[in-house]
Amino acid sequence: MTTLRVALVQQDTVWQDPAANLAKARGFARQAAEAGARVAVFPELFTLGFTMAPEPFAEPIPGPTTEAVAALSREFGLYLVGSCVEAHAPKARNAAFVTGPDGALVAAYRKLHPFSYGEEHQHYSGGDDCPLFEIDGIPCGLQICYDLRFPEPFRSLAVRGAEVVFVPANWPVRRIAAWSTLLAARAIENQMAVCGVNRAGRDAMGLDYPGASALHDCFGEVIARGDATEGLVVGDIDLSSLRAWRERFPALRDRRVKVYAALEIKNGTQMNTDQS
């Protein structure tokens, strides 16, 4: 496959109402299929909103939410990227997952960096892995919202061959310039396509979300970008162009990993920031 059509779902999430949000998701999945998308991506914690009261909603993976999304994948013949609160001790985890057109659970990822500025780390524990998975033979990865501020996991995915990374988020309007800049930066520095999907509307905590979901190609250029309204943002990722650029300008081969590690030790910058 040389082109991948992706639909980003700018959902105005109903606060802590999984049934209402799954009903919305079915309509959006139908629209994505009608638009010819192969993949549809929902925002972070799309069945709940960015809740700091995860315990009542914690569930296993696979579990009720993955099964509900898998049913939509089968119904509409799509890969779907969803998310849920995963049950985990001592604290729940903010997780994203992918289901395939056959209803299989393709991958699951746990947010590496709970958003400490918003006290997420007090309610969720961080994950410890960045799985690589395939969509129609295309190497892909997942990150979640605040993870976007950390280049290391994106680089880890890139050096393992990831060509597309999906980033479900709840990114508020007051920091939206950082959202757009960081999506482009992660794409440029890793020569990969980055697909950031952000919710729209206002949550129960009074935070406003401006949409601005976007697909960026491997040059950081915008393939498609949403406004502040609820709905789909659809675009085509040109994988042949991405692969040709990596071959013509193999920047990742010039990394000096041992030097970077030595500089951290030499300058005393290694810190234990584990908030799990």
List phi, psi (to 5°) of 193: -85, 135
Give the DSSP letter of residue 59: B
Contacts of 66 (CB under 8 A, 6+ apart): 82, 84, 97, 99, 105, 108
Identify the active-site residue in 24, 44, 84, 86.
44
Identify the active-site residue in 86, 111, 163, 218.
111
Asked about 84 being catalytic, the answer comes back as no
Report the side by side order of strands in the sheet with 79-86.
Answer: 105-110, 93-99, 79-86, 39-41, 3-10, 231-238
Identify the active-site residue in 84, 130, 140, 145.
145
Asked about 145 being catalytic, the answer comes back as yes
Q: Locate 124 and state its tokens.
A: 């969720």
Distances (CA, A) of 272 to 110, 156, 268, 269, 276: 20, 19, 12, 10, 11
d(CA 119, CA 73): 33
d(CA 196, CA 41): 9
Q: Which amino acid does the sequence have at 275?
A: Q
At residue 96's C-alpha, the angle toward residues 189 and 9, to 5°, is 80
Enumerate the H helices of the chain as residue ranges.
18-34, 64-76, 151-159, 176-190, 239-248, 257-266
- The residues that are catalytic are 44, 111, 145
